[in-house]
Amino acid sequence: MNRTTRTQLRRLPKRGRHDSATINAILDAGFLAHVGFHIDGQPFVIPTLFGRDGGKLYLHGSAASRMLGELAQGIPACVTVTLIDGLVLARSAFHHSMNYRSVVAFGTARKIDDSPQKQNALRVISEHLIRGRWDDVREPNAKELKATSVLEFQIEEASAKIRQGPPLDDEEDYVLPMWAGVLPLKLSAGTPAADERMAPGTAVPSYLADFSAMH
């Protein structure tokens, strides 16, 4: 993966990672990406679902989506994914922080028009959200595929940044009589809530019953 000044970490560079294994692990653990781009002097940042296939990210939405339409023109874009692991509570207000894992990826996108490729990209997105679901549902028909725009975002370069561990207070503050430490946070799955119109006798699939979104 390329590496230029775009992905050079100037603030706390020791927290940075540039290896594909770390970057891909963070992308695979996240559900929501934020896509940043610039149109006629106005910046936009739009949240969206995604899926990863190697060094590519797939994005999808309505064929009328302004974001997807602009990105399909090949304009430079930035995709970010952030996972929050805990609140870091220090003895001083200045040193409060968060434990997190994040990725910033730069690149350009192209529109996928080929139906089999589009179908595969949608499968990647579906499997990213919950593995096993795609083979358990009706696949998109021709009308639905036409109404859906799918982009392939090629990651040209990316960097990860990770903060772990306890608060880092000034040495003289460690004697202060106040609680300090980390409040862990995690994303976890609840009990599946069945649709009221589900066909009688339909069982909860194993991939859903066993699902655990803990990052």
Instruction: Indicate if the pLDDT at residue 122 is higher than 60.
Output: yes
- 50 falls within a domain: yes
Q: What pLDDT score does 18 carry?
A: 82
Query: What phi and psi values does residue 109 have, to the nearest 5 degrees?
Result: -120, 155
Question: Comparing C-alpha atoms, which of 78, 49, 63, 77 is closest to residue 111?
Answer: 63
192 lies in some domain: no
Residue 191 has a pLDDT of: 87
- Is 178 contained in some domain? no
What average pLDDT does the segment 109-114 reach? 95
Does any domain span residue 202?
A: no
Burial class (CB in 10 A: 0-12, 13-18, 19+), 153: buried
Q: Give me the domain span that covers residue 106.
A: 5-167
**Residue 14 pLDDT:** 73
Cα–Cα distance for residue pair 56/197, rounded to 1 Å:
37
CB neighbour class for 15 (10 Å; exposed up to 12, middle 13-18, buried from 19):
middle
Number of domains in the chain: 1
Q: Residue 151 falls within a domain, yes or no?
A: yes
113: in domain: yes
In sequence order, the 6+-apart residues with CB closer than 8 A to the CB of 105 are 23, 27, 57, 78, 79, 80, 153, 155, 157, 158
Residue 207 within any structural domain of the chain: no
pLDDT recorded at residue 184: 97
User: CA 152, 156, 159, 160: dihedral to nearest 10 degrees?
Assistant: 20
Mean pLDDT of 170-180: 97
pLDDT at 214 over 60: no
**What's the average model confidence in pLDDT over 106-129?**
95
| pLDDT level of residue 105 (50, 70, 90 thresholds) | very high
Looking at the chain, the whole-number percentage of residues with pLDDT higher than 90 is 80
- Given pLDDT bands bounded at 50, 70 and 90, which one contains residue 209? confident
Residue 76 sits in a domain whose CATH number is: 2.30.110.10
Please give the pLDDT value at position 12: 63
- Provide mean pLDDT across the span 157-175: 96
So what's the pLDDT on residue 6? 62
- Of the chain, the percentage scoring pLDDT greater than 70 comes to 92
Q: Residue 189 falls within a domain, yes or no?
A: no
d(C-alpha 169, C-alpha 45), whole Å: 34
pLDDT in tens, 20-74: 999 999 999 999 999 999 988 899 999 999 999 999 999 999 988 989 999 999 9
